[in-house]
Amino acid sequence: MESYSFGLLFKEAAWFILPAWIANGILTPFGYAKRMLGIPDIAFDFGKTLSDGTRIVGDHVTWGGLFVAVVTGTAVGFLEGRPALGALMGFGAFFGDAFGSFLKRRFRIPPGGFAPVLDHIDYILGSCAFAALISPVSLPLFLAVVFLTLIFHPLLCIAAHALGLKEVPW
């Protein structure tokens, strides 16, 4: 088992997950800009419902969001010297968030409704899963990523809500 100092572990965790954090974070101003400019987007589920009548993921998970997440993850990964990993993390962040929306619809949580913990780590789970395709993610690194995300993501969501960029503070 690897030996880490906490400071080094958290620094490594932040550097590792940065493409996913930024890819996920950029979607808030992207969605805000679309709304303000009246730019339409296509829902990832194309408005389809399951047999129970609920949407698959809903209107907030879009094809434009997928594009922005992958491009952003790739750009951040490029700046870090690992564009392929960044692309996978942006892709994974999008699909993690989409899976979180899928689960929320199954539990009848309405769009914009709060799902404790899930709303803050779904994209992290997706990005780590996709990143693991080309770069192993150790348990200590993964746990440090989750810990840091559970601290910073809620704070940033509250700030974005206070600035009017998000409809809800999560």
So what's the pLDDT on residue 80? 98
| Average pLDDT, integer, range 87-116 | 95
- For the record, the structure tokens of 48 come out as 């389809």
Contact 99, 126 (CB under 8 A): yes
Contact 100, 116 (CB under 8 A): no
So what's the pLDDT on residue 2? 55
Q: Report the share of the chain in percent with pLDDT over 90.
A: 82
Q: Is the dihedral of CA 79, 87, 39, 101 positive or negative?
A: negative
So what's the pLDDT on residue 8? 93
**169: Cβ contacts below 8 Å, ≥ 6 apart:** 157, 158, 161, 162
So what's the pLDDT on residue 165? 85
Using CA atoms, how far apart are residues 22 and 36, in angstroms rounded to an integer? 21
- For the record, the structure tokens of 139 come out as 């348990």
| Average pLDDT, integer, range 24-36 | 90
Read off the pLDDT band of 14 (50, 70, 90). very high
**137: Cβ contacts below 8 Å, ≥ 6 apart:** 16, 128, 131
